[in-house]
Structure 1
Amino acid sequence: MTKPGKPKSKRTPVRLRHKIEKASAAKQRKQRKLAKNNPQWRSRLKKDPGIPNLFPYKDRILHEIEEKKRLKDEELARKREEAKITRAAASAGQAAGQEEQPNGEEELSDLVDDEDMDEDPQEDSSNPMSALLASARARAAEYGDASGSEEDDAMEEDASEGGADITTANSLPISGPQTLESSRRAFDKVFKNVLSSSDILLYVLDARDPNGTRSREIEREIAAADAGSKRLILILNKIDLVPPPVLKAWLTYLRRYFPTLPLRASNPAPNARTFDHKALTVKGTSETLLRALKSYASSKQLKRSTTVGIVGYPNVGKSSVINTLISRLGSSRSSSTACPTGAEAGITTSLREVKLDNKLKLLDSPGIVFPSSSSQTTATEVPPTFSRKQYTEANLTLLSALPPAAITDPIPAITLLLHRLSRSSATLAPLLEQYNLAPSTLVPSQGTDGDITTDFLIQVARKRGRLGKGGVPNIQSAAMGVLMDWRDGRIRGWVEAPKEEVGREGSGGVGKEIVKEWAEEFKIEGLWDDGDEKGGEEVVMQE
């Protein structure tokens, strides 16, 4: 019992405090549970929903974001370099001014009169630092020559350490082709520069349609350049999208003309329907290519580095070839930052030079739609209703040589795709399975005037939810979705290699003996022949 007048203690027993804490925690748990069940509940933090995977222009938006980031980084690097040169020139100007004290005032006044005539003379007299800055600018040119030689020495030191040095050739065209017309206009500018500055040219082809991405005129021009001193290697990329027997047939066919190497430059896209080629992995094929290039460079014993130019159609994987070669060096620098890559055409917009070591230098070029493509088309490959112009545009769309923004009408490309895939059950059945369609879908109905393409796209639009107002199927959106699936390898399809004998004279080849000689120079003669024969019978699908 407390004494009268003594204040009561505010302390509470530990048991009571713990009871209050437990009751408070239970109340908070109950409130959180009720908030989750409440349909009107909204989080305070607004989470970015991102870009849906089914959005047809997701790749283009992501590419624009990456391109803005890259341009921003390049602008920041340029400003840093200018600031570095300005500081060095200023220090050089101060040193020169201390050595020439008697004539220093006359030089400063002359520079101020020549360069700053429009400025107020009172401002110059009140601000002597402006005269010093003018003197520093005048000596910047002299310092630029000395700093340029120091940068070259630094580049050689970095290359000797095994790191890949990446530069952009500013003296060459800075913008790459984005459409068919601009690509052909840029043909002379880009290709001529690459051809003149390269000792070896890697012509990258798409394994699903090698002849569609070839140009015999370009091959003749390369073989005849500099009195035949140039070397050409055909690179068959994306080999995981074709079965082993088809790959072996194409290698046999292409090796009649030039040395040919299969390559897996990158891993497949998600959910791509690929084939297992066993020994032909990303690491194995890239190491073989790098070893062949180094063998040729060491055998020539040049006093300069050997330049390897990489050419080909857009989106055949030229930048991926460079990245996979850099990854084999074991450098600490990430290979993904060497050359930007993407699923759509037009990622590479300028010539990029990558120095692997003191003996080897790579030159990445923008994709070029070569004029007068030499794809051997027959009457069975062209739909009956197609004109020559429609076939050319549809074929370029299927080759992913045009960016999505340049595709005005994707429906002719779908018609050509269905025409090719319907000729074989090995490619038609996976197409129907991809979209869970019945075989009767490709049978013309009366409502569409016998148009198989329209029936197919209507079914795809319903299956994928590409509907407009009132539930009307959006055929254009469905067609773009099918093209994206074809580009990423989710739809199986390929072109068979020609089986007839092709004449070597005037066909773009350089002759059997010369091809054999070139293969010996690169040490690639007879490579993988045994592996192809053993692995050609077993085909493993990766779903």
Structure 2
Amino acid sequence: MTCHKRYKIQKKVREHSRKLRKEAKKRGHKKTKKDPGIPNEAPFKQEVLREAELRKQRLEELREKQKLARQKEVAKKRKLEAAKNDPKAKKKLEKKEPTQKRQTKPLTPVDNNSRKLFCRELKKVIEASDVVLEVLDARDPLGSRCPQVEQAILQLEEKKMLVFVLNKIDLVPKENVEKWLKYLQNELPTVLFKSSTQLTDKNMQAKGLGIRSCGIDVSKGNTCAGSQCLIKLLGDYSRTQKESKTLKVGVIGFPNVGKSSIINSLKQIRTCHVGLVRGITKHVQEVHIDKQVKMLDSPSIIASPANLKVALALRSVTDIEKLGNSLEAVKAILKHSNQQKIMLQYNIPDFKNPLEFLTLLAQKRGMLKKGGVPDMEKAARMLLYDWTGAKISYHSHLPENHELPPHLSESTIEGIQRSFNMEELHVSNTNTIKAVRFPNMASSIPFHSTGPTSGVLDENEVVEEEAVEQEEMEADGQEVEAKVEVLGSEDGDDADIEDDDVAEAEPAVISTKGKQTSGKGSTAGAEQRQLNIDFTTVNQEDDAYDFNKDYF
């Protein structure tokens, strides 16, 4: 390397380092801030500390697992290297290899989110249980009933007892709850229930982090109502049975009606996973309440695609985040509810259509995209979470005429009601009503129920989400093709013009009318100017700035 080149490189390096130092001075020296910790006045301080401890424990466990896995891999490699050197061990490995190949079989992957799997697990729960609890949402009890499942339970050879559990009664006015209780008790035994929303995890109690050390606020959400009534009802029924065995109680219902929350409330600990996400429970889960009663948590009932849009919006198994037509679901909900009450609930001005409502809601909650464009999909998902979760208080009116469904006869109703003590059930339900704090009728949103929601039990009748999406895409594609054909037939004369004719076209003449100005200088007629534009001439030279020619 020549001295000229070496000195040039050194000079460039010096200049580069000088620039870096200059930029560093502009930015300033960043000092590492110490963690100030959680202040004593902060709410839920002990919960935050507990979560931090749990995170540390999990990280330590992961590190230990990774360390053990590495040690095992190293030991295997050493054994293999030793076996290669030793001829006797080599022969043993050759003998073991074909036997291992025979034993290993290709396992078919199981999709946990498959609707067919949900049907299978639901059938298992119905067949294994002695008593089936159908959980109904108190805001829409008729809409959360499934006639197909009720019929399948009552038509089984082994006699199964069917009981209604009216959950989320704290979100409905008191008068409406009492009316629905009378309506449902004319058919089957009904238990009023309010699940507790704040419960400790069983893993936390196992690690010695109990309720005292957690600092959980005992509020209205932590109280449970109707648990003693339900346990007593099931305990009395198990004593009447001849065979002295644990009573298996299956819990069924549509998504987000509170099946797992009821089991957690009875057990007084979070044994089953709960949340706003639909279809969290995917397999049968057994929970022992006491020596006499064993609960079976089941996946959600799958709503038939033949239902109305409102029923599919509130009872569909599909997760709200993955729901493609969230805007259509919101339109259906707004159509069946009172507009003025929704305006008061969300503190929004009057709106003409669902799109305007979502725009106002997104602006109110700060759900904006780039450029301040309201994110309507996010607002629609938020509204669906509110209506399926335990946030919005709405109620549905009873039907004018009470008619028994075809799968329920008077003899079956009498047989089921004889098996339970209905007088004690009535007394315990009245005590539950006294213990719960209900919202006012003025603050609750009236909702027009569309009747029972039809469900699917047979695996062969279930249509997976992917197949439905493909059908919708094909239908949309056919519509687009049809529109293109119609437009092509209308503009057929213009489409016949060839490229040669376009090249030989005459210059176009554009006429522009002058603006008429009022006043003294205004003319009666409008001035007409003609601009000649020649489309045939093509400017071959580029208008870009050329540094070689234009720069001096």
TM score, norm. by length of structure 1: 0.55
Of residues 314, 317, 322, the one that matches 1:406 is: 322
Q: Which digits, 9 at most, give the CA deviation of each residue in 1:117-169, with x for residues without a partner?
A: xx8895667999x9xx9xxxxxxxxxxxxxxxxxxxxxxxxxxxxxxxxxxxx
In 2, distance between residues paired with 1:537 and 1:354? 30
**Which residue of structure 2 lines up, in the alignment, with residue 314 of structure 1?**
255
Of residues 213, 237, 245, the one that matches 1:296 is: 237
In 2, distance between residues paired with 1:211 and 1:244? 17
Query: CA shift at 1:251, angstroms?
Result: 1.3
Distance change in 2, residues 1:220/1:540 (3 Å)? closer
**Structure 1 segment 502-521 matched on structure 2, within 5 A:** 502-503=403-404, 505-507=406-408, 511-520=412-421
**Which residue of structure 1 lines up, in the alignment, with residue 265 of structure 2?**
324
Is the 8 Å Cα contact of residues 257 and 508 (structure 1) preserved in structure 2? no
In 1, distance between residues paired with 2:437 and 2:179? 10
Aligned residue for 2:152, secondary structure, equals helix
Identity of paired residues, percent?
A: 27
Is the 8 Å Cα contact of residues 255 and 279 (structure 2) preserved in structure 1? yes
Q: Which digits, 9 at most, give the CA deviation of each residue in 1:56-81, with x for residues without a partner?
A: xxxxxxxxx99xx9xx99xx9xx9xx
Distance change in 2, residues 1:268/1:243 (3 Å)? farther
Aligned residue for 2:164, secondary structure, equals strand
Aligned residue for 2:156, secondary structure, equals helix
Is the 8 Å Cα contact of residues 198 and 222 (structure 2) preserved in structure 1? no
Which stretch of the first structure deviates more once superposed, 318-327 or 293-302? 293-302
**Structure 1 segment 6-25 matched on structure 2, within 5 A:** none
**Structure 1 segment 143-542 matched on structure 2, within 5 A:** 178=113, 182-183=114-115, 185-186=116-117, 188-227=119-158, 229-267=159-197, 282-327=223-268, 335-336=269-270, 338-371=271-304, 391-392=308-309, 394-399=310-315, 401-422=317-338, 428-429=340-341, 431-438=342-349, 441-442=350-351, 444=352, 452-503=353-404, 505-507=406-408, 511-520=412-421, 523-525=424-426, 527-529=428-430, 539=440
Query: CA shift at 1:231, angstroms?
Result: 0.8
Distance change in 2, residues 1:121/1:523 (3 Å)? farther
In 1, distance between residues paired with 2:327 and 2:337? 15
Give 1 or 2 for the bigger CA radius of gyration. 2
Distance change in 2, residues 1:236/1:433 (3 Å)? same
Is the 8 Å Cα contact of residues 344 and 400 (structure 1) preserved in structure 2? no
Aligned residue for 1:411, secondary structure, equals helix
**Which residue of structure 2 lines up, in the alignment, with residue 170 of structure 1?**
none
Query: What one-letter code is carried by the residue in structure 1 that aligns with 2:347?
Result: N
Aligned residue for 2:421, secondary structure, equals helix
In 1, distance between residues paired with 2:110 and 2:141? 28
Query: What one-letter code is carried by the residue in structure 2 that aligns with 1:44?
Result: K
Aligned residue for 2:166, secondary structure, equals strand
In 2, distance between residues paired with 1:537 and 1:283? 14
Aligned residue for 1:233, secondary structure, equals strand
Query: What one-letter code is carried by the residue in structure 2 that aligns with 1:341?
Result: V
Query: What one-letter code is carried by the residue in structure 2 that aligns with 1:201?
Result: V
Which stretch of the first structure deviates more once superposed, 281-290 or 356-365? 281-290
Query: What one-letter code is carried by the residue in structure 1 that aligns with 2:258?
Result: G
In 2, distance between residues paired with 1:362 and 1:123? 59
In 2, distance between residues paired with 1:255 and 1:396? 27
Is the 8 Å Cα contact of residues 213 and 312 (structure 1) preserved in structure 2? yes
Query: CA shift at 1:514, angstroms?
Result: 2.3
Q: Which digits, 9 at most, give the CA deviation of each residue in 1:359-405, with x for residues without a partner?
A: 22111111122548xxxxxxxxxxxxxxx66x34x423234643123
In 2, distance between residues paired with 1:202 and 1:191? 13
Query: Which 5+ residue runs of structure 1 have no aligned equivalent?
Result: 1-37, 49-64, 80-118, 134-172, 270-278, 328-334, 373-387, 445-451
Is the 8 Å Cα contact of residues 292 and 522 (structure 1) preserved in structure 2? no
Q: Which digits, 9 at most, give the CA deviation of each residue in 1:397-440, with x for residues without a partner?
A: 234643123311211221122222227xxxx33x22333222xx
Cα RMSD over matched residues? 4.5
In 2, distance between residues paired with 1:354 and 1:204? 17
Q: Which digits, 9 at most, give the CA deviation of each residue in 1:210-244, with x for residues without a partner?
A: 222211121122112134x2111111111111111
Distance change in 2, residues 1:467/1:285 (3 Å)? same
Aligned residue for 1:294, secondary structure, equals helix
Q: Which digits, 9 at most, give the CA deviation of each residue in 1:158-204, with x for residues without a partner?
A: xxxxxxxxxxxxxxx9865x4xxx43x33541222112111111111
Query: Which 5+ residue runs of structure 2 have no aligned equivalent?
Result: 1-26, 38-53, 69-82, 97-108, 200-219, 445-552
Is the 8 Å Cα contact of residues 244 and 535 (structure 1) preserved in structure 2? no
TM score, norm. by length of structure 2: 0.54
Aligned residue for 1:226, secondary structure, equals coil
Q: Which digits, 9 at most, give the CA deviation of each residue in 1:99-119, with x for residues without a partner?
A: xxxxxxxxxxxxxxxxxxxx8
Aligned residue for 1:211, secondary structure, equals coil
In 2, distance between residues paired with 1:370 and 1:398? 10
> Number of paired residues?
351
